[in-house]
């Protein structure tokens, strides 16, 4: 049962088509990875899903009940999110982490997640009240920190965390409010090789009870954790299927993988291989 879908989703920047007529669906129990070379359109696609960018054409829809198919009718009710801004898509249950760590550096680790939980709750406009009156949000934040492996760091300022721990915190912030769909944008970026296993375990854990769309350049991670892989090239979907079939697809090998074999890990500093995608100001 699908929880997220796009129909004919397109984004043009002048004469450049960054996302080209993409039809996509994500199932409620699925971990789908989105891969492709630099400029393929992956980050732009994420921005269109979350409302950070307005599409040139097409639609973005979320299952109305957050669970896809209705038991009573056997049909899916969809909410059109195409024109929703970032905060509206988040309130509907579509949350995202980012390529670049995006946390409040001087606030404690607990406060970063507590603020995110409150923002998705019913008290988002009562920031002037004593935080102790928001016990449910503190409890939710504590549970999330335990889940992402940062419970012992709860009272430390976020800027004291290692890079890998900051990536874990980013995922924790994205989990606040219990989203139906979680978009993870390169959670392994910049993470040392010693921390890769922790990131893999975290991705697999959150995918156990969330629909997850993952952008990741470490192909070993992608091939090991994905139920399904979608490949973008020049804004178009060129492959969509289980990891084994995508890995062996000649068009994918030519456009991106370039002879990838299992075990071709990234560099220790997390630099992507075969390519590293930056947020090219809309060119992705």
85 and 121: one domain?
no
- Of 102, 35, 45, the C-alpha closest to 276 is 35
Which residue ranges in the chain fall short of pLDDT 50? 66-73, 124-125, 265-283
218 and 283: one domain?
yes
214 vs 23, 98, 134, CA distance in Å?
Answer: 17, 11, 32
The predicted model scores a pTM of 0.83
Residue 67's pLDDT is: 45
Report if residue 205 sits inside a domain. no
Each residue's pLDDT tens digit, 36-67: 998 899 999 999 999 999 999 999 999 986 44
83 and 186: one domain?
yes
* DSSP H or E stretch at residue 197: helix 196-207
Report if residue 197 sits inside a domain. no
55 and 85: one domain?
yes
Number of structural domains found in the chain: 2
Residue 237's pLDDT is: 97
Both structure tokens of 209: 């009870």
The C-alpha atoms of residue 28 and residue 210 are separated, in whole angstroms, by: 7
H runs (alpha helix) in the chain: 42-50, 86-92, 109-119, 135-148, 163-175, 196-207, 219-225, 243-247, 250-252
108 and 82: one domain?
no
Task: Note down the domain range covering 14.
Answer: 1-93+182-190+211-284
152 and 281: one domain?
no
* DSSP H or E stretch at residue 80: strand 78-80
Report if residue 20 sits inside a domain. yes
């Amino acid at each position: 049962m699908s929880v997220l879908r796009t129909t004919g989703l397109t984004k043009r920047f002048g004469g450049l088509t960054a996302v080209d007529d993409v039809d996509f669906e994500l199932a409620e129990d699925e971990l789908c990875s989105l891969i492709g070379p630099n400029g393929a359109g992956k980050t732009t696609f994420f921005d269109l899903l979350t409302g950070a960018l307005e599409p040139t054409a097409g639609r973005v829809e979320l299952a109305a009940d957050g669970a896809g198919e209705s038991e009573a009718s056997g049909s899916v009710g969809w909410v059109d999110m195409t024109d929703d801004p970032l905060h509206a898509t988040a309130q509907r249950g579509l949350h995202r982490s980012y390529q670049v760590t995006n946390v409040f550096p001087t606030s404690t680790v607990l406060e970063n997640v507590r603020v995110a939980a409150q923002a998705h709750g019913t008290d988002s406009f009562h920031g002037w009240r004593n935080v102790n009156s928001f016990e449910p949000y503190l409890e939710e934040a504590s549970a999330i920190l335990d889940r992402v492996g940062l419970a012992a760091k709860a009272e430390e300022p976020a800027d004291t965390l290692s890079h890998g721990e900051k990536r874990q915190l980013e995922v924790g912030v994205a989990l606040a409010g219990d989203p139906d769909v979680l978009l993870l944008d390169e959670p392994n970026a910049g993470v040392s090789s010693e921390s890769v296993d922790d990131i893999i375990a975290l991705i697999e854990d959150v995918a156990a009870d969330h629909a997850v769309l993952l952008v990741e350049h470490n192909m070993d991670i992608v091939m090991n954790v994905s139920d399904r892989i979608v490949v973008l090239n020049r804004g178009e979907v060129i492959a969509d299927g289980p990891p084994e079939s995508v890995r062996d697809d000649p068009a994918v090998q030519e456009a991106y993988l370039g002879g990838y074999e299992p075990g071709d890990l990234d560099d220790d500093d997390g630099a992507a291989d075969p390519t590293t995608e930056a947020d090219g100001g809309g060119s992705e």
